[in-house]
Amino acid sequence: VSGLKKHFPVKNEIGQKSAVVKAVDDVSFKLYEGKTLGLVGESGCGKSTTGRTILRLTEPTSGSALFKGKDIFQLKGDELRKARQDLQMVFQDPFSSLNPRKRIGEILEEPLVIHKLGTKAERTEKVMEILYKVGLNVDHYYRYPHEFSGGQRQRIVLARALILNPKIIVCDEPVSALDVSTQAQIVNLLRDLQEDLKLTYLFIAHDISVVRHISDQIGVMYLGNIVEYTDTDNIFAEPLHPYTQALLSAVPHPNPTMKRERIILKGEIPSPLNPPSGCVFHPRCPMATDICKQAVPVNKEARPGHFVRCHLY
């Protein structure tokens, strides 16, 4: 994905176009087959919008996303329908994303019907196979969503995403609504499925400790930009961006004798309608200097394979 932008025009009370919200502003990253990129940041930073544009659930303003040699953003008609089988999404709230009036078997079969795949018998067989893969069983086929716990519903949502044999799954806060032990089960399931099916994930979360155990690389987002991007180990060993340092300071260190000093950020995320000048993080940054108010920092490779947008580097 390169140079992805999603800008929304905003109208004032009398309906005139008065401003532009830069929800995603010049985001670039790579997804590697069978690997996971974790995208972290506070709500409103543009991470969900980034995921949705890749699946064409929302149209990007500009940029490109190469997949199998083609730009996803340019696909139309049949080509787009075909690509959509490869690109699936798992949403945060498994309670609202399953139709309460349909049985699980019907919910899981639906994508196959829409894409006109297989005979009735073949589709049923495929549904059974996927139920097993996500840790459910044949008994669940005739049940309704309300008969399941949150963790089980997330398994069903995952099964629905898997039914078309996708290559890439955008997981948007897939465990945020679950309790901690269920979170761990679902994350482990996602990892097993990844290994088994060579899946590629874009894993979106507001909590950096959640993405740690599943991500090969991490991108930290702030107000529409990726401000730091590198291998997961690098991020935790040597976070470079002051915002990443603040996020990590809230995470308990694995070695209890090595205490991180908690960095408390001043203020709230500014409104994307009226972003600060220069580095958009400057009003909250403990390291800000005069240049930060004036000049927008560019993306730099500060260490090999470790990218950061900050004047300190």
Binding site for Mg ion (CB under 5 A): 48
Rg of the chain taking only CA atoms, in angstroms: 21
Which residues, numbered 241-280, are part of the site for ligand SF4 (CB under 6 A)?
241-242, 279
* Per CB under 6 A, 306 contacts ligand SF4: no
With CB cut-offs between 5 and 8 Å by kind, which of Mg ion, ligand SF4, none does residue 312 bind? Answer: ligand SF4
Supply 80's token pair.
């787009």
> Closest Cα to residue 29, out of 39, 16, 20, 43?
39
Q: Which residue number, 92 or 234, has a Cβ lying nearer to Mg ion?
A: 92
Orientation of helix 150-162 relative to helix 104-114, angle to 10° = 20
| C-alpha torsion 258→259→265→268, nearest 10 | 100
Find the shortest distance in angstroms from Cβ 304 to ligand SF4: 20
Find the shortest distance in angstroms from Cβ 173 to Mg ion: 6
Which residues, numbered 130-159, are part of the site for ligand SF4 (CB under 6 A)?
none
Residue with tokens 């009003």: 283
Work out which of 297, 302, 306, 307 binds ligand SF4, going by CB under 6 A. Answer: 297
With CB cut-offs between 5 and 8 Å by kind, which of ligand SF4, Mg ion, none does residue 48 bind? Answer: Mg ion
What is the Cβ-side half-sphere exposure of residue 269, based on CA atoms within 13 angstroms? 15
Find the shortest distance in angstroms from Cβ 48 to Mg ion: 3
Q: Which residue number, 148 or 243, has a Cβ lying nearer to Mg ion?
A: 243
Q: Return the range that interacts with ligand SF4 (CB under 6 A); candidates 56-64, 145-153, 269-277, 287-295.
A: 287-295
Find the shortest distance in angstroms from Cβ 207 to ligand SF4: 21
Work out which of 148, 292, 302, 307 binds ligand SF4, going by CB under 6 A. Answer: 292
Q: List all residues 6 or more positions away from 126 whose beta carbon is below 8 Å from its beta carbon.
A: 112, 118, 163
Q: List all residues 6 or more positions away from 306 whose beta carbon is below 8 Å from its beta carbon.
A: 228, 229, 230, 231, 234, 238, 240
